[in-house]
Amino acid sequence: MTDITLTVLGCGSSSATPVIGCDCPTCCSTNPKNQRSRSSAHVQIGRQHWQIDTGTDFHQQAIRARLNRIDGVLYTHPHADHLNGIDDLRAFCYHQQSHIPVYGHAATLKNITSRFDYAFLPASPFWNRPVLQAHELPLNNGHQPVLTIEDVPIWQFGVPHGHWICSAFRIGNLAWFTDLNYLDDKTIEQLQGLDYLFLDCLMDTAYASHLSTEQAFDYARRIDARQTYFIHMTHTLSYESLLHRCPPRCAPAYDGLVVHSHYA
Ligand SMILES: [Zn+2]
Ligand SMILES: [Zn+2]
Ligand SMILES: [Zn+2]
């Protein structure tokens, strides 16, 4: 049996909360659960430490969660709020005196390796940049695990996110489904039996590349995880107001939330 611990490093949308220059009630709230950095998670699987995305806030998130090791990164897609903290993987390469493998589907890796080409060069003696190795994960819609980490299978789902295909991951009985606007019946079927589901829930208003609250509530009910947490929320959703109207066994996530699961 392998223990799995997921820490929500960030559950905010691309603008984060508070939004720069905004004085709405959520942005002015003193409840720390209303301060949301960009979407990201850290997952400890047995003795291994895996990172989902390295967004704009990755440095602060790593300090806050006292991260001291990263064995690999799973990238969902190359939007700035999920990728642009990539340079701060450098500290981990230096501490570990090693490259870090990064994983994603082919189009994601093509984008990352062209925009951050310097991060994929051989190590220099100064460790003055990240030293990463790209590994492609086949888009097989969750039919077979794409990785096995400490005996825990990782399934990848290519989910629509506007014109992009975003990778969503099931890690044992945890699932991280950020940045998507639709889930098909087959995927919902493959997500049965979850302990924890983390699901995109942008705002009340319908949006082309994300789930609205109504859509997120509907998918959460159909997937029926033991507990669902909503992520990638904008400042239009305050923690308190969303909590009060969530379906049973659903709640908004918050930065720093930690959940434990295990896989036998
Ligand atoms: Zn995003
Ligand atoms: Zn605001
Ligand atoms: Zn995105």
176-225 pLDDT per residue, tens? 999 999 999 999 999 999 999 999 999 999 999 999 999 999 999 999 99
The helix/strand/coil state of 178 is coil
Q: Which ligand is nearest to the CA of 18?
A: 2
Measured in angstroms, how far is the CA atom of residue 13 from the centroid of ligand 1? 6
Which pLDDT tens digit goes with each residue over 34-57? 999 999 999 999 999 999 999 999
> What average pLDDT does range 73-94 have in this prediction?
98
Alpha carbon distance, N-terminus to C-terminus of the chain: 4
pLDDT score, position 87: 98
112-116, 139-143, 219-223 — which is least confidently predicted? 139-143
Please say whether the dihedral angle defined by the alpha carbons of residues 166, 242, 226 and 193, taken in this order, is positive or negative: negative
Cα of 62 to ligand 3 centre, how many Å?
21
State the distance from the centre of ligand 2 to the C-alpha of 12, rounded, in angstroms: 12
pTM flag (> 0.85): yes
C-alpha distance from residue 101 to each of 131, 180, 218, 239, 263 (Å): 9, 25, 36, 35, 23
Q: How far is the CA of 151 from the centre of ligand 3 (A)?
A: 30
- DSSP strands (E only) in 131-226: 132-136, 147-149, 152-161, 164-171, 174-177, 196-200
Q: pLDDT value at position 19?
A: 98
pLDDT score at 149: 98
Within the chain, what is the greatest distance between any pair of CA atoms?
Answer: 54
What would the mean pLDDT of 152-174 be, rounded to a whole number?
98
The confidence score (pLDDT) of residue 33 equals: 98
pLDDT tens readout for residues 116-129: 999 999 998 889 99
Across the chain, mean pLDDT equals 98
Return the pLDDT at 166.
98
- Ligand nearest to the backbone CA of 164: 3
Instruction: Starting from the CA of residue 159, give the closest ligand.
Output: 3
In which band, very low, low, confident or very high, does the pLDDT at 26 lie, cut at 50, 70 and 90?
A: very high
